[in-house]
Structure 1
Amino acid sequence: MDWDNEPGFDEVKEQYVQLDLEAWLATHAVREEGRRQGAANLPAPEADGLDATEEKIRAWVNRRARICRGNVSHHLADLKRELVAMESDRDLEDLKLEVSELARNGGLALGRQVEKGGHLLLAAKEAVQEDTADFRAFRRGARLTRQADYSHRRWSLPVILTCFVVEIVLNATLLMEVNAFGLVGSSIQMALISFVNIFAAGLAMGFLLRQRNRVAPIRRSLAWIGIGSLLGMTVAFNLAIGHFRDSMQAVVNDPGADVLALGTDVVDRFLANAAALDSFQSYLLALLGFLFFCIASWKWLQRDDPYPDYGRRHRQLQSRRDDYIGRYDTAHRDLKNVHDEFASKLEDRREQLKIKQSAWRDICVRGQHLVDDYKLNLGQYPHDLDHLIEEYRTANRTARTDPAPRHFETRVCVDADVIDTPPAFNPPPPTMLNDVMEHVHGAIEELQDEYGKAARRYPTLEELDNDGRDA
């Protein structure tokens, strides 16, 4: 058997390989050689030192151990060369330059984007600042310390429309039975009456009720005069509607009455005694009309803040602020997208380096593992030598007629320098890998700092409010 085919180390699997002693004994006919020598009483009983066969076995084991050590040393040298190649790889230099370029381009892209976002925010920012200043001046001028309240705005108009419909139905109930103008004419009359009470008079009263809260005494006085006047006109209008019903009742009861003179009759009745109506239904019609007018006035007042124009200004300012928030979020999102794009590319480079560092550590661990296991695995060689020598000596003793030589009781040892001195493995430090990784870390932190500075160039609403207070 060719001894070089039994190196004791598998470079592919990086494993130490134990010798198949039985196969080795059979291949080299060690037992047969021992019996042949023993039959001839060789070596002689008085012989001192190992015989040729024992020397041959010892030389074989030592040679196998040296070959194993040499192969391990060669493999460790290959691992070291692989580390050196990784450390001096041109790709690392290219990667470092690429990272620098990405960081530079990222900073420029953030700068361009923050300018673009600034233009997007400029008009909204100026509108917020202008409206905020106007709103604060308005509050100071009106001596307002409370927040605007138009919490009933959502439901006021549905209530008003409901009152309009209900009044039409009630008018129909009270007027249709005495109406002389047919279905179409009656419907128009009912709608007009409800419109005057609910929309015209109610809206006007809501406006006047709001005006009475003005700071200026003259405006408050005019508002109260208007309120009194409108109340009087509304009462008069609804009493006139009651007289209108009485006049139509008279026309219905008198077939010969002139329908075209109905208006004159209503005026005469009203001027004669405005509060005197002929029937309960007429009084009820006038009362319901005035009641719906009061409800509508109240709801028109609740459509907005009690102070004139306060609610509108507040809604306008809130709309400006909402618009600014939307633009602010858009600008921040666009800026973050630019940051994330370059940060993702830098993270990809960092992952590439992590893979290289992991491969570096793996090679170092593998090499150190071979060094650490060297003594443990080569510790089997003395046992192999003992077994081979003992098999030879046992076969020799069995075939002898003379006593065995004294050195058969002596143990044969493997050369200590082969087993006790493991091959060296001194991997170079990953200087370039660490340097490039630190460069990538620095580029990512620099990009993050640039992003933070760029984001802070977009003022928040709170900052705009504080600027407005300081101004």
Structure 2
Amino acid sequence: MGGRAISNLTADQLDSELKLSERGAADGRKNLPASGDDQLSAVEAMVVSRIDGVIGQRSNEILGVGSGQDFTTLPQDLETLAGEPQTILTQFRAKKARAQSAVGLELNNTHSDFARAYRDYRAFRIQHQLTETEPSYDTVFWRKVFFLALLFTVEVAANGWIIGQASPGGLVQGWTTALMISVLVVLTGSLIGAGPWRYLNYRGADGNGAVHRLWAVPSVVIGGLLLLLFAFYIAHYRYALSHSDLDSPAPDNILSSIASAPFQPFQQMESLLLFIIALLIGIFAVARGAHWDDPYPGYGPRHRRMEGARERAQELALGLSQEVDEAKQDADQALAEIAQRSTASVGALRQAIARTQDNAPIWDFQVLQILSEGRDAIEIYRDANREARSGKAPSYFDTDAFEDVEPPSSAEILESLQTAFARATNNITACKSQLAGARAQLEAEYHSFYDDELTPFLKNIENNATVNVRSEFDDGPAAKRAAPRVEEPVSDEPPEEPSRGPLSFKRLRGQR
């Protein structure tokens, strides 16, 4: 049988693994296959299949990953890849359309809400002559509450400590009285500041603010007298406690004492200190109440409604832009994968051609050796079958079992690969052209979404909306230098503001 080119495949090894001698003898004793049969027996077919598998394995080992036959469908595969960019582009359009459909109605409604709030805000500024001022208020609720709580805590601590030292009931009675007075002082001051104090400078629509001052001024005076009464009360209470016996009940003639001798407690430093603290806390409470919202009544709520509508529209638009960005990212990734797959396929084909050229002699020699080992293995089976059978052996025993097995030669494989490479080169050019066109179209539609579709949704909803509202009524030098503008009454839509463009989400894309 000659030298063995493949150490792990010999006829003897096949005989040992497949028990060809034993199977041949067993079939021969049964006169199988029959003398008239012209088809290979099951054992022979198994040997032929085994040899065919070994040839395919050796093709992969010698010629590289995949034999020449693995590349016969490459041109068709590249033709299929050439159509996928348009499919990816269609998928991007579908995702963009679904995202727009999901939020389009809500975004339009929010834009209408902003336009309505803007008109109300603008008309309020014109009517109340607030074109030179911006709303000013604390937007953090806990911070506003904290300052009121701080005032209350300081008043309770000061009153409780000073009163408790002189109270016959000790600190408990002192803190109880301090708590009551502190609540009255802080609450009264806050109500004065949040209510009548803010209406002292209220101009009202079309200048009718004097009507509100008719009740605001008396209310402020009454509130101030109440704060003064509470301050006198706490001072007289402390003075009365300091001049009472330890077992005496709490004094109940404070109001009459205030009426008869209002300044008598100031002879005592502690009472004077309580009086000053109560007045200061009351004044601070008035200031805190006045600035709980914008000091001008009605200005803050209108500004918040406008800002809230603008922020809701921006949030919806930002969510829409994020979905479109994700769709764009998925499309870019899919196009990159197609480019990578096509390049890798052609690269593998180049490698197969190079390895076939380098290993052609080895391949041709080893194919012949493998077939030779297969024929010897078949002869082992047939010889054992002939010796054991009592009848005539089938006539096909004299024919070559591998006559239909014709592995391609290296020249044939190389020719097939080169033919496939020529077709693949043309197809990959078309694939690259489709990729470039799809990428260009994808970028164009992506930017068109921001420039032509999303921006109109956000027309006149800008980050600097408040500043631009002020600039509409500016009569200073900057306004005189600007282009002439015809003043119009309040319209149904927010006015055009040429100083800045609408909110651009391109900047958001760049930041991400």
Question: Helix, strand or coil: the match of 1:468?
Answer: coil
Is the 8 Å Cα contact of residues 210 and 306 (structure 1) preserved in structure 2?
yes
Question: Which amino acid counterpart does residue 442 of structure 2 have in structure 1?
Answer: L
Question: Which amino acid counterpart does residue 338 of structure 2 have in structure 1?
Answer: R
CA distance in 2, matches of 1:276, 1:461: 68
Is the 8 Å Cα contact of residues 107 and 313 (structure 2) preserved in structure 1?
yes
Is the 8 Å Cα contact of residues 152 and 186 (structure 2) preserved in structure 1?
yes
| Structure 1 position 284 matched with structure 2 position 298 | no
1:211 to 199, 202, 214: 199
Name the % identity: 19
| Structure 1 position 149 matched with structure 2 position 149 | no
Q: Which runs of 5+ in 2 are unaligned?
A: 1-67, 204-208, 356-417, 466-492, 498-512
Superposition deviation, residue 308 in structure 1: 2.0
Is the 8 Å Cα contact of residues 242 and 286 (structure 1) preserved in structure 2?
yes
| Structure 1 position 225 matched with structure 2 position 211 | no
| Structure 1 position 93 matched with structure 2 position 79 | yes
Is the 8 Å Cα contact of residues 211 and 220 (structure 1) preserved in structure 2?
yes
Superposition deviation, residue 87 in structure 1: 11
CA distance in 1, matches of 2:75, 2:91: 25
| Structure 1 position 452 matched with structure 2 position 447 | yes
CA distance in 2, matches of 1:88, 1:175: 98
Question: Which amino acid counterpart does residue 109 of structure 1 have in structure 2?
Answer: K
Instruction: Spell out, residue by residue over 1:276-314, the C-alpha distance to the aligned partner (whole angstroms, 9 max, x if none).
Output: 447423333222211221122223333332212323443
CA distance in 1, matches of 2:85, 2:139: 60
Q: Which runs of 5+ in 1 are unaligned?
A: 1-81, 367-424
| Structure 1 position 112 matched with structure 2 position 98 | yes
Instruction: Spell out, residue by residue over 1:385-439, the C-alpha distance to the aligned partner (whole angstroms, 9 max, x if none).
Output: xxxxxxxxxxxxxxxxxxxxxxxxxxxxxxxxxxxxxxxx9x9795443233212
Q: Identify if the C-alpha distance between structure 1 residues 361 and 144 changes in structure 2 by more than 3 Å, giving closer, same or farther.
A: farther
* Correspondence for 2:178: 190
| Structure 1 position 243 matched with structure 2 position 230 | no
Bigger radius of gyration, 1 or 2? Answer: 1
CA distance in 2, matches of 1:444, 1:86: 29
Q: Identify if the C-alpha distance between structure 1 residues 343 and 228 changes in structure 2 by more than 3 Å, giving closer, same or farther.
A: same
Question: Helix, strand or coil: the match of 1:458?
Answer: helix
TM-score (structure 2 length as normaliser): 0.54
1:140 to 96, 117, 126: 126
CA distance in 1, matches of 2:156, 2:97: 65
* Correspondence for 1:329: 318
CA distance in 1, matches of 2:104, 2:86: 27
CA distance in 2, matches of 1:267, 1:88: 105
CA distance in 1, matches of 2:338, 2:200: 71
* Correspondence for 1:436: 431
User: Superposed, which structure 2 residues align to 1:266-285 within 5 Å?
Assistant: 266-277=254-265, 279-280=267-268, 281-285=270-274
How many pairs does the alignment contain?
325
Q: Identify if the C-alpha distance between structure 1 residues 245 and 100 changes in structure 2 by more than 3 Å, giving closer, same or farther.
A: closer
Question: Which amino acid counterpart does residue 434 of structure 1 have in structure 2?
Answer: T
* Correspondence for 2:342: 353
Q: Identify if the C-alpha distance between structure 1 residues 453 and 312 changes in structure 2 by more than 3 Å, giving closer, same or farther.
A: same
Instruction: Spell out, residue by residue over 1:124-183, the C-alpha distance to the aligned partner (whole angstroms, 9 max, x if none).
Output: 434433333332233223222222222697765444433322222221233223324454
CA distance in 2, matches of 1:173, 1:435: 91
Superposition deviation, residue 100 in structure 1: 2.9
2:89 to 96, 99, 103: 103
Instruction: Spell out, residue by residue over 1:8-27, the C-alpha distance to the aligned partner (whole angstroms, 9 max, x if none).
Output: xxxxxxxxxxxxxxxxxxxx
Superposition deviation, residue 191 in structure 1: 0.8
Superposition deviation, residue 352 in structure 1: 2.9
User: Superposed, which structure 2 residues align to 1:275-314 within 5 Å?
Assistant: 275-277=263-265, 279-280=267-268, 281-314=270-303
CA distance in 1, matches of 2:314, 2:295: 28
Is the 8 Å Cα contact of residues 205 and 230 (structure 1) preserved in structure 2?
no
Bigger drift between 332-341 and 143-152 goes to: 143-152
* Correspondence for 1:468: 494
CA distance in 2, matches of 1:159, 1:104: 58
Question: Helix, strand or coil: the match of 1:457?
Answer: helix
CA distance in 1, matches of 2:130, 2:495: 17
Is the 8 Å Cα contact of residues 212 and 221 (structure 1) preserved in structure 2?
no
Q: Identify if the C-alpha distance between structure 1 residues 284 and 89 changes in structure 2 by more than 3 Å, giving closer, same or farther.
A: closer
Q: Identify if the C-alpha distance between structure 1 residues 274 and 340 changes in structure 2 by more than 3 Å, giving closer, same or farther.
A: same
TM-score (structure 1 length as normaliser): 0.58
Superposition deviation, residue 275 in structure 1: 4.1
- Give the root-mean-square deviation of aligned CA atoms: 3.8
Question: Which amino acid counterpart does residue 103 of structure 1 have in structure 2?
Answer: L
